[in-house]
Chain A
């Protein structure tokens, strides 16, 4: 197949760039880490991290799809984790998880209402709520952490909510797959998805066709908040404890994952599988830096450099594909 024949494929599938980057990085990491990176245990860990970051990323991708952005998800993740941990030792973990998801959805509703009713840019609104809910999380924990007693870390409902494993993988991974499938169907094969992408592509045109633009955006924010809190729940289930800083800076990773994965920040183009590949790449890079023994203080620097290079590579590929 000639290079020109690949162009339409790259144009149509925004996730091709991140797929190539993922393959290249996996090959490079495997070749340069002397088996410390490419082993079953490490993969399971990377996938667990990908699962929680990925769930948050899926929600952010939907909001980005409408042409808005939600940077409060890191705090929502933390709130979800704290609500779950606080309740899970008192009531059944499944009810605690529902409550955590409801809190996340409420935060999403607040974001969505503020954005759609006031017309204020979502970047500013969600920057505000990022700080508000981080502040609440820190105030609630008062510098300590919430945890589930070891004795209570059992039972099927605890295990399926990130607290256990199935076939060698943390149960969070299965939630991610389930939610990916559901959201992909919603986005590509249901009227809601058609309208969501239309709103992101041209809100004025969608409005002229009778689409309730505000409602679509509001729904995306609610789903995003709920997913971020659910991701926090699963992370809390795995760790069994959380403090007020849980999920800090994850919002940036989620947004980076979306962009790397081929979601257009201006809206209208979403690749959920691409966004997840983006999350996988970020988790893989972190894991690689750990196993090759890069000192933690250099983490962010290296991560940033690799993200910039990956984004540049993806952008170049896309520009090449768009050329006639």
Chain B
């Protein structure tokens, strides 16, 4: 499963925001057909790392390779065109637009009349409604309703639905089960596994090591902008990994010194 060259390879990545060193010499590989849990406390650098992968941040130094090709320019458009779909926590939805308009933002289906592109409202409405309903959109909410009227869970369902609809090669999920009910949470987790089985790379960011340990093939732990652990879930239990998170880099250093 993890044979062959990595789909995404991050080498010695550093990122500064002004004087703040947000990512410190991070190197990590991600393979197609793999579900990787990216875990760590708040401020560990998880979201910053995936924002580099999805083109929102440009690293200060270091290299990122996608499918063996070095990434020269970072922009969400380029990442999306490469097939990297991201469900982010704080961004991704424009409150002033309808569900359907948000769903297709940036890749609106069009009907051309005399070569002029017009939005294909029927497709936008029907498809977005059908996909999002699976993830907990109320029956009385229509695709024409503005996103600002949705609950936290429903907002999340729009983002998840969109990632599923446009999945290509990579799906990055940043705390995807936040605001979701127990049943919806299970649905999202099943979906992550299903996407992996279809050969996609799934990067799943969470605080909950026990939850992601059940799903993931590998866990990457970050702390203070550094990668402090990268272990297969078959080699380390959730409790052991939790200990790493609790103790931080010290436990890894101790283990390395012993070996």
Contact = CB atoms under 8 A, between A and B. Distances in A.
A197 B119 CA distance: 14
A210 interface: yes
B86 A208 contact: yes
A211 interface: yes
A208 B56 contact: yes
B4 to A, nearest CB: 28
A195 B54 CA distance: 19
A208 B89 CA distance: 11
A293 interface: no
A33 interface: no
Given A190-B118, A210-B80, A211-B105, A205 B96 contact: no
A313 interface: no
Contact of B105 (A189, A209, A212): A209
A240 interface: no
Given A189-B118, A210-B106, A202 B93 contact: yes
Nearest to A206: B94
A74 interface: no
A189 B117 CA distance: 9
Contact of B54 (A185, A202, A208): A208
Interface in B65-122: 75-81, 86, 88, 90-97, 101-102, 104-108, 110, 116-119, 121
Contacts of B91: 202, 204-205, 207-208
Given A191-B119, A194-B119, A195-B106, A210 B97 contact: no
Nearest to B95: A201
Given A189-B118, A190-B119, A191-B117, A209 B76 contact: yes
B92 A200 contact: no
Contacts of B76: 207-211
A194 B88 contact: no
A238 interface: no
A265 to B, nearest CB: 13
Query: Most chain-B Cβ atoms within 10 A of its Cβ — which of A204, A208, A211?
Result: A208
A208 B119 contact: no
A182 to B, nearest CB: 11
A200 B77 contact: no
Contacts of A211: 76-77, 105-106
A209 B97 CA distance: 14
A201 B96 CA distance: 6
Contacts of A185: 118
Contact of B92 (A189, A191, A208): A208
Given A201-B97, A269-B96, A210 B75 contact: yes
Contacts of A261: none
Nearest to A65: B96
Contact of B77 (A189, A198, A212): A212
B120 to A, nearest CB: 10
Nearest to A210: B77
B56 A194 contact: no
**Chain A interface SS verdict (over half):** helix
Given A206-B105, A208-B86, A209-B80, A198 B97 contact: yes
A205 B77 contact: no
Interface string B182-216: 00000000000000000000000000000000000
B47 to A, nearest CB: 12
B157 to A, nearest CB: 16
Contact of B93 (A195, A200, A205, A269): A205
A268 interface: yes
A197 B77 contact: no
Nearest to B116: A190
B80 A197 contact: no
Contacts of A206: 94, 105-106
Contact of A194 (B54, B86, B101): B101
A207 B92 contact: no
Given A189-B118, A207-B56, A208-B76, A200 B105 contact: no
Interface string A201-232: 11011111111100000000000000000000
Nearest to A266: B96
A197 B56 contact: no
Nearest to B121: A189
Given A191-B117, A194-B105, A205 B56 contact: no
Contact of A195 (B55, B86, B105, B121): B105
A205 B117 CA distance: 23
Given A211-B106, A268-B95, A268-B96, 9 more contacts: A194-B108, A194-B119, A197-B96, A201-B97, A205-B91, A205-B94, A210-B76, A210-B78, A210-B107
Smallest CB-CB A-B distances: 10 pairs: A210-B77, A201-B96, A201-B94, A268-B96, A209-B106, A191-B108, A210-B106, A210-B80, A198-B94, A210-B76
Interface of B: 54-56, 75-81, 86, 88, 90-97, 101-102, 104-108, 110, 116-119, 121
Interface of A: 185, 189-191, 194-195, 197-198, 200-202, 204-212, 268-269
21 contacts: A185-B118, A189-B118, A189-B119, A191-B110, A194-B97, A194-B108, A197-B97, A197-B101, A198-B101, A204-B91, A205-B92, A205-B94, A206-B105, A206-B106, A207-B56, A207-B76, A209-B76, A209-B80, A211-B76, A212-B75, A268-B96
